[in-house]
A and B are shown apart, each in its own frame.
Chain A
Amino acid sequence: MPSFVTSRLFWIGALTVIVALVLPTYVSGYVLGLLTVAYYTAVFAMSWDLLFGFAGEVNFGPTFLIGVGAYTAGILDAHFSPGLSIWLCIAAGALAAVVGGVVLALPALRVSGPYFGLTTLVAVLMLQNFIVVAAGLTGGEIGLAVPDVISIDAKTNYWIALGFMLVSGAILFGLSRSAIGLILQASGQDKIQAGALGFNVTKHKLAAFVVSAFFSGLAGALMVFYMGTASVSTFVDVGVGVQIIIAAVLGGRRTVIGAAIGAIFLIGMGELLRPLGELATLIVSVIALVVILFFPDGFLGIIRGGAKA
């Protein structure tokens, strides 16, 4: 039975990827732009899901990591362009996010449950305050306009985002299923037993933070150079973090792939309902709530057919 399910899922997945690859020939630049943002958001959600699965705790701070990555890349470009290539800025952004992840992990891993959640939330609030107060450097509430973008061609941006999402997804998924990944899952769900079995739980969780931070920061930096601006409301706001958490749970938590599905759904639905104006967010939230209540395994669970106990 399992091998059948895996192979069905595999074929669905392969088909989806092929469709995604050829999409640009058939749809408008606008839809491509939407999907580009959705793909970056998918990476945010997948990184969060990895950390959630491994750390075993809900963290409210994905936007801390994303924000550090995005703003570092943005600030470097705004101040040093054209001397510094944007790819260097992006790399610097990812690196800064990793450092940020380690700095956050140190206090965060000492606590659990709501305290962990709060520590991560506080990190986001502090970053937000810092950005607003240091407006001369960061553009403050107004946001930062970066002079360079990766490309203004919608197709190029789309393929970069798609490629990035597929590669990140493969790496993150692979990690979650690898030997190390399974150990981390175990320690996430039952620290004491894992510790008793001789695994250095904390060191492994730190590694999980680093991986999540790397991908979040990298995705954030890439997105800055897609949009041409960085602002608190796009990258740091707690609301963005909320969207990411909802995407991961909606898609199917602890599955990595589910998070990507959830993110694409949320952004897609938001767009489809655009004509309804203000009601769009409301309706998407209602749909998300219904799915969570009746299909706890999220979309991936629905695709796999039936909820698992």
Chain B
Amino acid sequence: MFSLKSFLLASCATALMSSAAWAADPIKIGVIAEAQAVAGSSIAPAAQLAAEEINAKGGVDGRKIEIVVYDNHSSSAESVRAFQRAVSEDKVNAVIASYISEVVLALEPWAGRLKTLMITPGAASDVITQNIAKNYDQLKYTFHGYLTSTSLAGLVCDAAKDLLVEPYKMKTAVIMSEDAAWTTPLDAGYEKCLPEIGLKVVDHIRMSPDTTDFTPIFNKIEGLKPDVMITGISHVGTQPTVQWKSQQVPIPMFGISSQATNSTFWKDTNGAVEGVFYNAVSGPGVAVTPKTLPFVEAFQKKFGNFPSYAGYTSYDDVYMIADAIHRAGGTDPDKMVEAMEATDYVGTIGRIAFKPKGDPNPHALRTGKGYITGLMLQWQSGKQVNVWPKELAAGTITWPSFIKLKAASN
């Protein structure tokens, strides 16, 4: 709430300040985001912050960056309308769009039809980049600025191996995910990599994102007696977490839980999130790169709260677009695409580079050593503590009172 107010104030201030000294036309970047959702609410402010920083240093080749914001109310239809408006009326040169895969998939063909560069700071579905492989010339304008579901699955497995299988000798797992675009490839990834690290998948539960009563689901899972629940949830978060705690389900939750990345989640769940493990590319106090913590500090100072996960990537996206325009020597869409493909940028989440044409997932982020590795965090006593990878760990794992585990063997 306060972020919206300060954001509006900041926009006014920027508008006043900037009317003065800029000669050439501004570069306009449209931001289509879900302002009412916690994850989406950071996308536009973070972009604004990046634009201000770049403008303060002279802009891009003497041109200032202007951010134009559209609230899409979490709807694909409104997003399509907003995109059409952004390109034909507001004449933006690039668009940063959403954290919801369904929205990005609806916009992808329009980015192609209207020949406008588009990057998503938060959606995960592999289909986004698979579509580019199938129709490169039409769809090359889209870039996937976040980890694909398949890479996320791989990262969760890597973390599970180091944190659960080796020390606690865990043997079985149940996959629990919401039925959505991004979890189809995620679950496929889990089914493949979990056995590879020694966790047998005893069941795979996909639930409707509209579920409000998780009791039967948890009871079913408990009946199967797995050592861990590997999660894939984003649209739901508060309810399953609170019900997990109030039912005292004696099985830890480990994996992807988008809402758990929000710093307000402790309050939202009245503390029920204690002990939940979640994957992220960023976390409070974790200096993934030298740019991470200064960004968080600047964001907090300006907007009064921590950025959501999509804020980090949105901030990086503005810098990358600016850099691409600089290298392309202008805003010609095809040249911008070529320049984006050559991106090699150290952002707040790691070293960012995109997979090239010809790859099964063109324009997806490169992951692995030297690029984006991701983190695994756990909520402990009201704080988000990073527990993996070891080099960046700020603490060791703890268990909530209702999970009784044999002590770690190392």
Chain A residues in contact with chain B, CB under 8 A? 28-31, 33-34, 37, 132, 140-143, 145, 149, 152, 154, 227-229, 231, 233-234, 274, 277-278, 281
B328 located at the interface, meaning its Cβ lies under 8 Å from any Cβ of chain A in the complex: no
Residues of B within 8 A of A229 (CB): 76-77, 80, 106
B390 located at the interface, meaning its Cβ lies under 8 Å from any Cβ of chain A in the complex: no
Min C-beta distance of A302 to chain B, whole Å:
28
- Of B83-91, B270-278, B317-325, the stretch lying at the interface with chain A is B83-91
Residues of B within 8 A of A227 (CB): 77, 80
The reply to whether A143 and B81 contact each other, CB–CB distance below 8 Å, is no
Of A140, A154, A229, most buried by chain B (CB within 10 Å of CB) is A229
Which A-chain residue is minimally distant from B125 (CB atoms)? A142
Interface residues in B, total, Cβ within 8 A? 29
The reply to whether A30 and B88 contact each other, CB–CB distance below 8 Å, is yes
A301 and B4 alpha carbons, distance in the complex (Å): 39
Which 10 pairs between the two chains have the least Cβ-Cβ distance?
A30-B89, A29-B88, A234-B77, A30-B85, A142-B181, A277-B71, A28-B89, A142-B102, A229-B106, A33-B84
Residues of B within 8 A of A33 (CB): 81, 84-85, 88
Residues of B within 8 A of A233 (CB): 75-77
The reply to whether A231 and B76 contact each other, CB–CB distance below 8 Å, is yes
Residues of B within 8 A of A149 (CB): 113
Our pick among A37, A231, A277 for the contact of B81 (Cβ within 8 Å) is A37
Residues of B within 8 A of A143 (CB): 76, 102, 105-106
B98-131 with Cβ < 8 A to chain A: 101-102, 105-106, 109-110, 113-114
Which A-chain residue is minimally distant from B44 (CB atoms)? A277
B209 located at the interface, meaning its Cβ lies under 8 Å from any Cβ of chain A in the complex: yes
Some 24 contacts from A to B, beta carbons below 8 A apart, are A28-B88, A30-B84, A30-B85, A30-B88, A33-B81, A33-B85, A34-B81, A132-B179, A132-B208, A140-B179, A141-B102, A141-B181, A142-B102, A142-B181, A143-B106, A227-B80, A228-B80, A228-B113, A231-B76, A231-B106, A234-B76, A277-B35, A277-B71, A281-B73
Our pick among B35, B70, B84 for the contact of A29 (Cβ within 8 Å) is B84
A154 and B209 alpha carbons, distance in the complex (Å): 35
A140 and B4 alpha carbons, distance in the complex (Å): 33
Residues of A within 8 A of B101 (CB): 142
B180 located at the interface, meaning its Cβ lies under 8 Å from any Cβ of chain A in the complex: yes
A300 and B179 alpha carbons, distance in the complex (Å): 45
B398 located at the interface, meaning its Cβ lies under 8 Å from any Cβ of chain A in the complex: no
Residues of A within 8 A of B102 (CB): 141-143, 231
Which B-chain residue is minimally distant from A149 (CB atoms)? B113
Our pick among B88, B180, B208 for the contact of A142 (Cβ within 8 Å) is B180
Of B71, B77, B85, B180, most buried by chain A (CB within 10 Å of CB) is B77
Residues of A within 8 A of B106 (CB): 143, 145, 228-229, 231
B36 located at the interface, meaning its Cβ lies under 8 Å from any Cβ of chain A in the complex: yes
Q: Mark B174-211, 1 if CB is under 8 A from A, else 0.
A: 00000111000000000000000000000000001100
Residues of A within 8 A of B73 (CB): 278, 281
The reply to whether B89 and A141 contact each other, CB–CB distance below 8 Å, is no
Q: Mark B154-181, 1 if CB is under 8 A from A, else 0.
A: 0000000000000000000000000111
Which A-chain residue is minimally distant from B135 (CB atoms)? A147
A31 and B76 alpha carbons, distance in the complex (Å): 19
Residues of B within 8 A of A145 (CB): 105-106, 109
Residues of B within 8 A of A34 (CB): 81
Min C-beta distance of B80 to chain A, whole Å:
6
A193 and B98 alpha carbons, distance in the complex (Å): 57
A231 and B105 alpha carbons, distance in the complex (Å): 12
Min C-beta distance of A144 to chain B, whole Å:
10
The reply to whether A141 and B180 contact each other, CB–CB distance below 8 Å, is yes
Q: Mark B193-233, 1 if CB is under 8 A from A, else 0.
A: 00000000000000011000000000000000000000000
Residues of A within 8 A of B75 (CB): 233-234
A53 and B4 alpha carbons, distance in the complex (Å): 44
Residues of B within 8 A of A31 (CB): 89
A307 and B76 alpha carbons, distance in the complex (Å): 39
The reply to whether B89 and A142 contact each other, CB–CB distance below 8 Å, is no
The reply to whether A152 and B35 contact each other, CB–CB distance below 8 Å, is no
The reply to whether A141 and B209 contact each other, CB–CB distance below 8 Å, is yes
Which B-chain residue is minimally distant from A34 (CB atoms)? B81
Q: Known: A33-B85, A154-B88. Contact between A278 and B36, CB under 8 A?
A: yes
The reply to whether B179 and A141 contact each other, CB–CB distance below 8 Å, is yes
Q: Known: A30-B84, A231-B77. Contact between A142 and B110, CB under 8 A?
A: no
Which A-chain residue is minimally distant from B79 (CB atoms)? A229
Min C-beta distance of B99 to chain A, whole Å:
15
